[in-house]
Amino acid sequence: MNFAEGEVLLINKPLNWTSFDVVNKLRYAITKKLGNRIKVGHAGTLDPLATGLLIICTGKMTKRIDEFSGMDKEYTGTFFIGATTPTYDSEMEPDAVFSIDHIDGKLIKETQQKFMGVMEQMPPIYSAIKIDGKTAYQQARKGKEMEMKTRTIEIKEFELTRIAMPEIDFRAVCSKGTYIRSLAFDFGKALNSGGYLKSLCRTKIGTFDLKNSMTVDECVSMISTS
């Protein structure tokens, strides 16, 4: 493999790793192999509590990072209905609890239909979005108020694959910039309850598929023997 000329590596990001943890691990392995440092970057951040497909680009292929990041993405995961958290996922403990007694299959189906197509979505305050040059989640952790703005996103496919209240499993195909954590929060609110993202896995980026990915250890081993 020619890492300086440019390679695209498909990685299955482990739970509790940041996307930059993966980049740093592979950059170290490549530097050790080549004896010199080259560009290594990722195309599309995954939260630490998410797993799944991460595209790593090396050398001249880093010029295509924006192209890959702009592709549609497919996710699978689980919503927890009946509570909300400040981060919209399970990183923090619930800050509010809601009834789910009124929720039935009919209401869930009607609500599902509301989350198809082009819509405005409010990103979580605990996100990497920068406002006036400051990262939102860093300011949120300091207890500072940040004025978040909605963004236009598109959910092209939204399928509920298991309903076992208070959990709902889903599969979604969406545009760049979509926050699945916000989808979980908004979905719970639309059910006249609350919701947060219990688990998330990115399964596709454009035509790139998680099925063709490697673990971090497998990739490190491949780099050292290539």
Q: Which of 194, 222, 181, 219 lies closest to 46 in space, CA to CA?
A: 181
Give 216's pLDDT tier (boundaries 50, 70, 90): very high
DSSP 86: T
Helices 216-225 and 19-34: crossing angle in degrees, nearest 10, is 10
The structure's pTM equals 0.91
Apex CA 51: angle with CA 65 and CA 200, to 5°? 110
Q: Are the CB atoms for 17 and 30 separated by under 8 Å?
A: no
Q: Are the CB atoms for 15 and 51 separated by under 8 Å?
A: yes
Tens digits of per-residue pLDDT, 56-105? 999 999 999 999 999 999 999 999 999 999 999 999 999 999 999 999 99
Q: Is 47 a catalytic residue?
A: yes
Residue type, 169: D
Q: Which of 166, 191, 200, 169 lies closest to 87 in space, CA to CA?
A: 200
Torsion of CA 113, 115, 117, 118, to 10 degrees: 150
Which is the catalytic residue, given 47, 66, 89, 186?
47
Tens digits of per-residue pLDDT, 125-141? 766 666 566 665 566 56
Tens digits of per-residue pLDDT, 157-169? 999 999 999 999 9
Q: Are the CB atoms for 89 and 104 separated by under 8 Å?
A: no
Rounded Cα gap, residues 219 and 197, in angstroms: 29
Rounded Cα gap, residues 219 and 3, in angstroms: 13
In the chain the domains, ranked by start, together with CATH numbers, are 8-70+207-225 (3.30.2350.10), 73-205 (3.30.2350.10)
Q: Are the CB atoms for 19 and 54 separated by under 8 Å?
A: yes
